[in-house]
Amino acid sequence: MSTTRADERLSQLSQTLWRQRAQVELLLYRLEVQQMVLASGRSRWIDQSARDVEDAIDDLRTEEILRAAHVAAVAPGYGLGPDATLSMLADAAGEPWGQILRDHQATFLSLIGSIESVSRDNKELLAKGLRDTQDFVAQIGDGPRLDGYAPNGGGTRSLARPTLVDWDV
């Protein structure tokens, strides 16, 4: 492959990687917003924040397909398979492309580490919210029943213990 053609393809790959980096940063932002919503203890925006995260992941998947197509177009020119990694391309491409691709890779690794950390924290907050909700429901279920049935088949009339309900839960 000519140097000019290889440079064009590497340039297209780099542009795709820049867009992908922006989308990964957007995903991190949306996960951090979701974390704030979860930590606040208010549930009004949980569904919206989950949709925002899902949308960011969908957009990232689309960009990942484009990245894979660019890699598949560039890699054979350097004697690599179509599923070559950024590291493999960086080693094969030479400078300045090698450094550019390594910079992209380092940034992706850093962002992915942050995403994993925030995601883990969000899962813990969701699990705590689920446990709190289950405990609340169990407390309501422990009290006497209103208009229930006695073991002999007759009706009972007893008041359940008063319960304070936060409708935002």
CATH of the domain at 109: 1.20.58
Pick the closest to residue 13 from 87, 83, 66, 92 (CA basis).
66
Predicted confidence pLDDT, tens digits, the chain (169 residues): 567 888 899 999 999 999 999 999 999 999 999 999 989 877 888 889 999 999 999 999 999 999 999 999 999 999 999 999 999 999 999 899 999 999 999 999 999 999 999 999 999 988 887 777 777 777 776 554 445 555 666 655 544 455 555 555 5
Using CA atoms, how far apart are residues 20 and 26, in angstroms rounded to an integer?
Answer: 10
Q: Is residue 90 part of a domain?
A: yes
Contact 89, 73 (CB under 8 A): no
Instruction: Report CA-CA distances (Å) from 65 to 52, 61, 114.
Output: 20, 6, 23
Using CA atoms, how far apart are residues 38 and 3, in angstroms rounded to an integer?
Answer: 51
Q: Is residue 66 part of a domain?
A: yes
Q: What is the total count of domains within the chain?
A: 1
Q: Is residue 160 part of a domain?
A: no
Q: Is residue 168 part of a domain?
A: no
Centre a 10 Å sphere on the Cβ of residue 65 and count the other Cβ atoms it contains.
10
Task: Tally the residues of the chain.
Answer: 169
Q: Is residue 39 part of a domain?
A: yes
Q: Is residue 156 part of a domain?
A: no
Instruction: Give the range of the structural domain holding residue 55, as residue numbers without chain letter.
Output: 3-142
The model scores a pTM over 0.85: no
Q: Is residue 32 left, alpha or beta, with left meaning phi > 0 and alpha meaning psi from -120 to 50?
A: alpha
Q: Is residue 93 part of a domain?
A: yes
* pLDDT confidence of residue 108: 96
Using CA atoms, how far apart are residues 92 and 159, in angstroms rounded to an integer?
Answer: 77
Q: Is residue 148 part of a domain?
A: no
